[in-house]
Amino acid sequence: MTDFKQLRQRMIDYQLRARGLRDQTVLDAINAVPREEFVPAALVESAYSDTPLPIAAGQTISQPYIVALMTDALELKFGERVLEVGTGSGYAAAILAEIAGEVYTIERHKILADNARTRLRAMGYDRIHVLHGDGSLGWPEHAPFDAIVVAAAGPGVPAPLKQQLAIGGRLVIPVGCNLYTQTLLRVRRVSAHSYQQDDLGGVRFVPLIGAAGWQDENQG
């Protein structure tokens, strides 16, 4: 019988700590979430591999290191309000919820939103709120957010997301003109009309589809 707890600890030691992730709050949050519950049944033995894995709707659950890196970049404090764009399986939302007060997460694929909502409720994450919709526009009814994380790459930083940041809030998003030239950015709101931006390095994500992102080619 697979010892997932041991595999999770090995992942933290050899994929995360060994690559420079040191924030104990983030590592504890990752240790608290059973990743095997968020991957297809046929792939549970690979749940802690250092790779993305396929889920429904032609999407993936990001590799553990990327989830940890983006969570770390948010500089989350306990009890903060967080918006996630790109729910996927719900795995990253669960990690965020281990630290945040409330997590609002948006997914454009209905099957993923419905599956994540059901899974997270069953696991007791009653402070995670899942919406099927256009994440590039954010969730203004629940703004402002202390932190926003986007699990898809936009052509630029969507203005609606910047506007929904609280003063002092952090937005972490990959930005790039194609799949091969993307940069992970952290945007910090320092005043009502002023933002600071940090380059966190090269990444590779699926495109952010939406009114403030890329057009969905399947819709013509």
- Residues annotated as catalytic are 62
**30 and 96 Cβ atoms separated by less than 8 Å:** no
* Number of alpha carbons in the 13 Å side-chain half-sphere of residue 167: 5
**Residue 14 and residue 3 in contact, taking contact as beta carbons nearer than 8 Å:** no
- Classified as helix, coil or strand, 154 is strand
- Tokens representing 129 are 């709120």
Q: What is the DSSP letter of 13?
A: I
Which residue, chain included where needed, has tokens 């899942």?
Answer: 130
In this structure, what token pair is assigned to residue 86? 């790109």
Phi, psi for residue 19 in degrees, rounded to 5: -105, 15
Residue among 77, 81, 91 at smallest CA distance from 30: 91
